[in-house]
Amino acid sequence: MRIIDETHTPHTGKVIDAFAKEEWLCRRTGNGEGPPLLYLWRHKRAFVLGLRDSKLPYAPQVMEQMERDGISTAVRHSGGAAVPLDEGVVNVSLITPKPRGRIDFHDDFRLMFGLVRSAIERLAPHLPQPVECGEVVGSYCPGDFDMSIGGRKFCGLAQRRQIGAISVQAFVLVEQQGEARMRWALDFYQAAANEATRSFHPPVRSGTMASLAELVDASVTVEAFVNALKEECRQRFLITDEKEQADVPFEEVIRIRNELERRYKP
């Protein structure tokens, strides 16, 4: 397995570029040209929509306003709903080959869940409450593989499937306040939906989101979490290479960015 860690400096450009890099890496793995890998990144300020979110009646206008305010927006190509991103959120993608004929993909979710949980246990061996798996109703981007402590969600998982590879994506709230991000997601839905479409988006509510710094220990940092996650991977897998930048050709990033923007345009 390879580890690509771009968390040292948060991205500041188009957030879709990170998804374009991941798409290229996933295609290469699916073609047998690259090993499984862990791709880590952050963005300074971005808002990523799910495909269903992008169909809300006023979503394009809200996205345009965000862009004018210096917030990069995108519609992602995996499952899930809207996710606010900032420097305190670590995005993790686990890219693995997909065996032919395989139908059940829950094992990939379980693997990601286990990696993130073990990293947290490295940071805090004596958690007062366990890391749990299951939908946290009222959280943003809810799903069966929400990760929570004490009923408050700090991580959500989504999946991108290709012909020969799978990418399981996680957003992990490590620093800052989960409540502020919840409010950002709620403000988006209130602005993007109308009365007829209120039921078409997750019922985001207060008290459902928190960061690891809030749930585990105020001293937990992005750097500490990333180091713990990478150490867990070193214990589980044979790591063949570790890099601080994905080796994706710039022209490929632009090409795939344009492809994704055309395909998932609101």
Q: State the catalytic residues.
A: 141
Query: What's the one-letter identity of residue 34?
Result: G
163 neighbors 155 (Cβ within 8 angstroms): no
Pairing of strands 165-173, 89-97: antiparallel
115 neighbors 192 (Cβ within 8 angstroms): no
Short-list 29, 28, 37, CA closest to 93: 37
Question: Which residue matches tokens 């937990």?
Answer: 220
Encoded tokens for 229: 């996650």
Rounded to 5°, angle at Cα 234 from 228 and 236: 105
Secondary structure (3-state) at 81: coil
